Structure 1
Amino acid sequence: VGELSEVSLPEVALFLASAAAPEQIDWPFSDLPVVLYRHPRFYLQLLHWTNATTAVHEHAFAGAFRVVSGSSLHSRYQIEDRQPVADEVEICSARHCQSERLPRGAVRRIDPGAGGLVHSLYHLDNPSVSLVLRTYGRSLDQYSLAKPRLWWNQGRLSASHRQKSIERASIVAERTSPGSGRQLIASIADRLSDGEWVSLALLWAEHVATREEFERLLAVRSMTSERIDQALLDGYESLVTERLLGAARESIRDPELRLLMALLMNVPDRASLLRLVSDFSGRADPVIVVAEWLARLASYRGDPSERLARLAAAAGVDHRLGVIVRQCLPPNISDAEGVALLATAIDPSCSLAPARAGVDQLRSALLQQRSMSVLIQ
């Protein structure tokens, strides 16, 4: 082996994209997976989570899970009208079936495949711990949903050392020299399968600042179908909304406002969201509860007793979402009027009568905000 004098990330990525070496598979799950017991037919695994995720996915195995520590927001989906558009990539219709709060001790069954348990499990506490009893599974195929309609084999692609190395090389290159990551991607894009390209594009969707940037990134690959490109662009819009809500939740210390952010990220229909607000708050009128939370968000500035919260507020994460709500409200409005107006905008039949006009304008303004449009009837 000759002496290696220089390492070029684009050359490394090009080698990985062209290599035909046998693939080694690694499929880590959770931030700290610990196997407690193994049997020839199944095993018990303790999963520690420090980061919440909204990912909707099926399972390559059968079994069950139990919430050991913390609580979670559990949402079930039905994947319908599946239309394969490439190997490991499909366009689908994802129907939200149910969202529920899972307290400590709750147990749910896992059935494999798209006809089994398709769900997201958003952990509300940090850390959260789950106990999973699972079979070994027959394959690594485990599809995930890139909302709203891209159904792709994330299980196999995420387990690929080659794919992970390409993705990491592109990010490292971009951080080392802005623009070089995109050049690296352009040099290998047409060497990747559609599934590999979808995986790489979804990773980069979290790193580009605008839709226009993402469109330019997608344009470097000449062999992607229009349906995949459009589904990726729709997925980018969903990611932007989740990113805004997720960043706000990270910087907010108020537990009720953090809960509201989690619900807005994970529950796509109004009736389920309001039912969960009643469940969590213990109050009979969830519309008024949400209105009070939104009014509080409009004036939220972080907890001055915590330096990290102050820094986050200064960076504008939670402040930005509060500004969005505040800009939807008329100027010089009192807190009580704001709550009444918000409640009536969410539900015109609400028991609170607004103290002033402006309900229709407020409803229209909230509907234009993807992060909050689910609240409007």
Structure 2
Amino acid sequence: MNDFFKDMGQTVLKRWKQENFSLEKFPGIAQAVLDERPPAQHVDLPALMREFLLDDEQPLQTQSGFGQPELVAYEHPRFYIQLLFWMDGTTDIHQHEFSGAFHVMHGSSIHAHYEFEKRHAITPNLQMGQVRMKNIELLETGRTVSIISGRQCIHSLFHLDTPSVTVVVRTQNDPGTGPQFNYLPPHVALDPMFSDVLTMRRKQLLDVLEQTEDPEYADLVIEMISDLDFERGFYILQHCMGALANLGEWGTALSVFETKHGELAQGVAATLEECVHRDAIKGMRSSIGEPEHRFFLALLMNVTNRADLLALVAQRFPNVTPTDTVLRWADELMDTSDDGCAILDALFPESLDIAIEDQGELFLAALKHLMLGQKKAPASLKPLAAAGLKQVKAALAASSLRVLVD
């Protein structure tokens, strides 16, 4: 067992015992102890990893799949201290059934806080409402943040560095604060631990039909959606969205779901479209290793307006105009081939009669013009004309770069 975390655990235990193990007091105690002796300043990470690999005397480890990996550094029946390594990690928007505090020991993260308003329970495991971001911040190495169980602390983390390491001092479980919902903006909350075995098997069987290109696939999915309850219908719709879109049947399936469930279904389309947007950025992250570009992806995935995005860019790179920084990233991430020009997943419109070698410069000029909110297009955009600029804006608005032009 690592001596630093053993001492930290004993300090937390002593202080919490003095407060009669009050769950309300625990987050403040955990945060104070982490801040008094920050692991970022006092723990030699390579030495800790070597000790864990070579010394059998370690606290009882969990079978949790959270973290890449999770190491338990101190364990007590009421609470424990864990180290979470993140190689390529992005957490879902979630709440907790435990309380405590977390500390950025190595790396940095984008941290977003949310609230869930106007909630309406469809079942105990699925709710509709309004997922709204309250604030977003950059967490650098050494920061400590409290964790409150339940809906008071709905958040997500996009880890920027490889690896990022977080130290968490947390209770085992806070009774009455479950389920530990995940949130799909802008409208859905669901319990990720809920298991409907029949729905799981049905999704797997639908995958067989999709992969074998069964001609009845779309008709079967639509027939299921017309008959299933809201919860099961939502999960089938979510699972089959990509395949239905490829077959040109997504609009039909969604319409059937909305007709069956009426007002309850409002917001489902926007939520599933946002899932596609976020998954696309997660997919791009797996092939992008440059730290600045990963930071850019984190902003594109989590920030909801251009002003907040530019503010976070200015915070991280204070000596450069944030618009110039974003345009540099866009230029670096641009790809030009025989098929045309693309910035990430934003494709220069094929319908415009622009030579491929000229598309990149025009794409960047249009992006700059739209980001600055200029009323009059500069001379550099003359080859596009008004109609062409409108098409370029539509292409950007349909991509992961949409927050920059909305």
TM over 0.5: yes
With over 3 angstroms needed to count, the CA separation of the structure-2 counterparts of 1:342 and 1:175, relative to structure 1, is: closer
What SS is found at the alignment partner of 1:104?
A: coil
CA distance in 2, matches of 1:210, 1:371: 20
Identify the residue that residue 323 of structure 1 maps to in structure 2. Answer: 347
* Residue pair 1:215, 1:233 contacting (<8 A) in 2 also: no
Q: Given the alignment of the two structures, is residue 345 of structure 1 paired with residue 402 of structure 2, yes or no? A: no
CA distance in 1, matches of 2:73, 2:217: 41
CA deviation profile, 1:310-329 (whole Å, cap 9, x unmatched): xxx99x99776253489899
CA distance in 2, matches of 1:371, 1:178: 30
With over 3 angstroms needed to count, the CA separation of the structure-2 counterparts of 1:277 and 1:155, relative to structure 1, is: same
What SS is found at the alignment partner of 2:158?
A: strand
Taking only aligned residues, the RMSD between alpha carbons, in angstroms, comes to 4.3
How far residue 101 of structure 1 moved from its aligned partner, in angstroms, is 1.5
Which residue of 177, 191, 201 maps to 1:166?
201
Identify the residue that residue 102 of structure 1 maps to in structure 2. Answer: 139
How far residue 52 of structure 1 moved from its aligned partner, in angstroms, is 3.1
Q: Given the alignment of the two structures, is residue 35 of structure 1 paired with residue 64 of structure 2, yes or no? A: no
* Residue pair 1:346, 1:375 contacting (<8 A) in 2 also: yes
Identify the residue that residue 290 of structure 1 maps to in structure 2. Answer: 326
Structure 2 spans left out of the alignment, 5+ residues:
1-62
CA distance in 2, matches of 1:103, 1:129: 11
Paired residues for 1:118-133 under 5 Å: 118-133=154-169
Corresponding letter in the other structure for 1:321: D
CA distance in 2, matches of 1:334, 1:190: 46
Identify the residue that residue 87 of structure 2 maps to in structure 1. Answer: 50
What SS is found at the alignment partner of 1:225?
A: helix
With over 3 angstroms needed to count, the CA separation of the structure-2 counterparts of 1:226 and 1:55, relative to structure 1, is: farther
* Residue pair 1:297, 1:325 contacting (<8 A) in 2 also: no
CA distance in 2, matches of 1:94, 1:104: 28
Q: Given the alignment of the two structures, is residue 112 of structure 1 paired with residue 149 of structure 2, yes or no? A: yes
CA distance in 2, matches of 1:330, 1:251: 29
How far residue 47 of structure 1 moved from its aligned partner, in angstroms, is 2.2
What SS is found at the alignment partner of 1:344?
A: helix
Identify the residue that residue 138 of structure 1 maps to in structure 2. Answer: 175
How far residue 237 of structure 1 moved from its aligned partner, in angstroms, is 1.2
With over 3 angstroms needed to count, the CA separation of the structure-2 counterparts of 1:330 and 1:112, relative to structure 1, is: farther
CA distance in 1, matches of 2:298, 2:336: 17
What SS is found at the alignment partner of 1:137?
A: coil
Identify the residue that residue 19 of structure 1 maps to in structure 2. Answer: none
Q: Point out the more displaced range, 98-107 or 268-277.
A: 98-107
CA distance in 2, matches of 1:38, 1:265: 35
CA distance in 2, matches of 1:87, 1:322: 39
CA deviation profile, 1:266-292 (whole Å, cap 9, x unmatched): 111211111111223333421222223
CA distance in 2, matches of 1:174, 1:27: 33
How far residue 118 of structure 1 moved from its aligned partner, in angstroms, is 1.0
How far residue 30 of structure 1 moved from its aligned partner, in angstroms, is 3.2
Identify the residue that residue 366 of structure 1 maps to in structure 2. Answer: 393
How far residue 265 of structure 1 moved from its aligned partner, in angstroms, is 1.2
How far residue 369 of structure 1 moved from its aligned partner, in angstroms, is 2.1
Q: Point out the more displaced range, 272-281 or 228-237.
A: 228-237
Corresponding letter in the other structure for 1:166: R
State, as a whole percentage, how many aligned pairs show the same letter: 26
Identify the residue that residue 262 of structure 1 maps to in structure 2. Answer: 298
Q: Point out the more displaced range, 116-125 or 87-96.
A: 87-96
Which residue of 234, 238, 248 maps to 2:274?
238
CA distance in 2, matches of 1:363, 1:220: 33
* Residue pair 2:131, 2:188 contacting (<8 A) in 1 also: no
Q: Point out the more displaced range, 62-71 or 225-234.
A: 225-234
What SS is found at the alignment partner of 1:295?
A: helix
How far residue 373 of structure 1 moved from its aligned partner, in angstroms, is 2.5
How far residue 163 of structure 1 moved from its aligned partner, in angstroms, is 7.2
CA distance in 1, matches of 2:290, 2:76: 44
Q: Point out the more displaced range, 246-255 or 174-183.
A: 174-183
CA distance in 2, matches of 1:128, 1:234: 32
With over 3 angstroms needed to count, the CA separation of the structure-2 counterparts of 1:151 and 1:164, relative to structure 1, is: same
With over 3 angstroms needed to count, the CA separation of the structure-2 counterparts of 1:234 and 1:256, relative to structure 1, is: same
Q: TM-score, normalised by structure 1?
A: 0.70
Identify the residue that residue 150 of structure 1 maps to in structure 2. Answer: 188
What SS is found at the alignment partner of 1:156?
A: coil
Corresponding letter in the other structure for 2:277: T
CA distance in 1, matches of 2:206, 2:83: 31
Identify the residue that residue 90 of structure 1 maps to in structure 2. Answer: 127
Q: Point out the more displaced range, 175-184 or 275-284.
A: 175-184
CA distance in 2, matches of 1:299, 1:97: 35
Corresponding letter in the other structure for 1:72: S
CA distance in 2, matches of 1:177, 1:53: 32
Q: Point out the more displaced range, 215-224 or 251-260.
A: 215-224
Q: Given the alignment of the two structures, is residue 277 of structure 1 paired with residue 277 of structure 2, yes or no? A: no
CA distance in 2, matches of 1:68, 1:260: 22
